[in-house]
Amino acid sequence: MTMTAASELAANADDLSVWPASTGRLPHGGLAVGGVSLTEIADRFGTPVYVLDEGEVRARCRTYRDAFPDAHVLYAAKAFLSRAMVRWVAEEGLGLDVCSAGELELAVTAGFPADRILLHGNAKSPHDIEAALRLGVGRIVIDSPSEIARLAAAVGTGGAQKVMVRVVPGIMAGGHEKIRTGTDGQKFGLSLTDGSAQHAIARVLHQPRLELTGLHCHIGSQITEVKPYVAAVRRMVGLMARIRDAHGVVLPELDMGGGHGIAYRPGEPALDLTALARRLRTELVASCAAAGLAVPRLAIEPGRAIVGPAGVALYRVLAVKRGGERVFVAVDGGMSDNPRPALYGVRYAPRLIGRRSTAEPCTATVVGRHCEAGDILAADVELPGDVHPGDLLAVPVAGAYQLSMASGYNMVGRPPVVAVDGGTARLLVRRETLADFRSRDIGG
């Protein structure tokens, strides 16, 4: 290695662009988030541990409200949900988008108004539908033809449920093929191309127990360009105009979903929220004017873009293997608390914290402790060459789709979540323990 490589590692370590805005440097290579030392959090709560910056979450909620003042902004709960997160989102004036009775009941029991909740799901269970109707959710998104009769029957006589129909607009967008949902040939929604969306809409309009308030589409996830959203708006308004012509109904709402991309590593692109808001509004107004339609109320569903950059994962190094050109740095977590690298090939930028190293950098692969060759948290990343067991690694942009997708693999137990704000840290979700596993196993 050359001094240039060492200088480059130092420069990268100095780049906090993807970290929470509250992140500050401490002596001896330490970092603080929300005014709390990450090293102290690791010592106090153990590792692995997820740190969530409350101020960052709230600021991102407000940024969305400011960018879309006339729209209904719903936080996508699948990214991460806890009772504290429910409270923050509610206090910042956002709605909530849930995908199951579990997410719904946690939100409502934590005090979230049910009429500000929208229920998704490509295969809603009877329990999902029963809970939604019992608790009084604001909207249910119909995702398949079979749901229409099931939902109408569950509403019963004398009642009515507000619904939307999820349309597949035929737009390809998203950071990975497994998270592209705007095209035909995947499990979500009803196709605009083959007419199934139009047929479902006609059926809903003939159900007196269902009130169709608008259309919904979600074209994918981790999208960093505005253009696909603009194209989707144009197609959705075109469908709304055809509904008006065929049925004499002008729908008052249009939900364009979420999928707003963020940067996981310095230098990566992220969706320009200001540009998105401006161009969506411009296209919506222009398309409606051309079609002679009243402009519907827009709704959007950010999840990752609100909570992702607010989270930091902390791991302790357990082992380092050096052989040939390969360096493996094994930590005390892995795919049981973050399966995303194995699922989508997501890349992160882990950083050594808690001590300052002057060693030459090495290219290392950060791996987990699980019995899978694919248990890799970060491949081919630059770390100090003297990285060793006991070191602490911090991974930024860890707030979304990590703990919410965590598993019980190898019975390691899911990590706790610690909120930081104003120089204090508090436990939001405790660590899963062996006692938790034992309590569920009632066989003998």
β-bridge pairing 376-384 and 361-367 = antiparallel
Q: Classify residue 44 as left (phi > 0), alpha (psi -120 to 50) or beta.
A: alpha
Backbone angles phi, psi at 249, to 5 degrees: -115, 130
Class of residue 29 by CB neighbours under 10 A (exposed 0-12, middle 13-18, buried 19+): middle
CA distance 156 to 111: 27
**Active-site residue list:** 371
Q: How many C-beta atoms surround the C-beta of residue 382 within 10 A?
A: 18
- Say which residues have a Cβ less than 8 Å from residue 107's Cβ, sequence separation at least 6: 77, 81, 86, 96, 98, 117
Task: Read off the tokens for 126.
Answer: 């009877």
- Whether 393 and 302 have beta carbons less than 8 Å apart is answered as no
Peptide bond into 48 cis (omega under 30): yes
